[in-house]
Amino acid sequence: MKDSQRVAIITGSSRGVGAATARLLAEKHYHVVINYTKSEKEALDVQAACEALGAETLLCRANVSEDEDCRRMASETIAKWGRIDALVNNAGTTKFCALDDLEGMFKEDFLNIYSTNLVGPYQMIRAVAPHMKRIGKGAVVNIASTAGITGNGSCVAYCASKGALITMTKSLALALGPEIRVNAVCPGFIQGEWLQGGMGYENYEIAKSYLEATLPLRRTATPEMIAPTVLYFIEDAELVTGETLVLDSGNHLGAISTVSSHMVST
């Protein structure tokens, strides 16, 4: 298979950062696996956009919290193209609950969030690792969050899951070299329907306006602003593994106060 036919799996790629990454990789001559669990219409739209850019695609409905689904996604990819060059672990979930509302989070919430945000990436990496090692190299990019660094996010369990994902990135970078590089990116506030739906329109607009007036760089991210850094870790960072890069316009520097405990990190 020619270098122009590299293959990438992007979990949770029906919208947001996952969709933007799929489109960018398609533009860069990757064939892409577009993964979704419920948002079939949106996933089909992403598939059409990628194919319009010249990419071959595989649409795969799979829940990354289920190991069988992860292994099936990897197997279907190998059956179609014979290789896996990159994995972007973007699928994630949360529950919007103020950090000080201790009665608002239950055991089931922690297990649900961890199963998608942490166990899911682990299972996906385990499913693709033998195939990457077989071709001699591969790149994994975990989409974490500044919530995993600052502890400020949509809920305690989400923050904890992303902190664990950052640590797991380091562990698997140690375990999977030299063939496979494993890195993470940590976005802050990302514009889009997902965050707006979770926060509510009014809170979303207040947070966005506040951040864009006070952040050191005076900007909040769009999914399309995050995707090029994912591409960098896949293509260019040949000497980088186990690294975490924060993309939040300087919010993690702590120079500003937060709007509320659930309005800054996604």
The dihedrals phi and psi of 81, each to the nearest 5 degrees, come to -125, -15
Tell me how far CA of residue 25 lies from CA of 8, 11, 74, 96, 117, in angstroms: 8, 13, 18, 31, 22
**Residue 254 DSSP code:** -
The maximal CA–CA distance of the chain, rounded, in angstroms, is 55
- The gap between the terminal CA atoms of the chain, to the nearest Å, is 38
Q: Which of 36, 158, 204, 210 is catalytic?
A: 158
Q: Provide the 10 A C-beta neighbour count for residue 254.
A: 9
Tell me how far CA of residue 55 lies from CA of 4, 8, 73, in angstroms: 10, 11, 18
Residue of 37, 1, 11 lying closest to 140 (CA atoms): 11
Q: How far apart are CA 200 and CA 62, in angstroms?
A: 28
Helices 67-81 and 120-135, axial angle in degrees (round to 10): 30
Query: Which residues on adjacent β-strands are paired with residue 178?
Result: none
Q: Provide the 10 A C-beta neighbour count for residue 200.
A: 11
> How many Å is the Cα radius of gyration of the chain?
18
Annotated active-site residue 36? The verdict is no
Residue for token digits 């696996």? 33
Residue 264: strand, helix, or coil: coil
Which residues are part of the catalytic machinery? 158
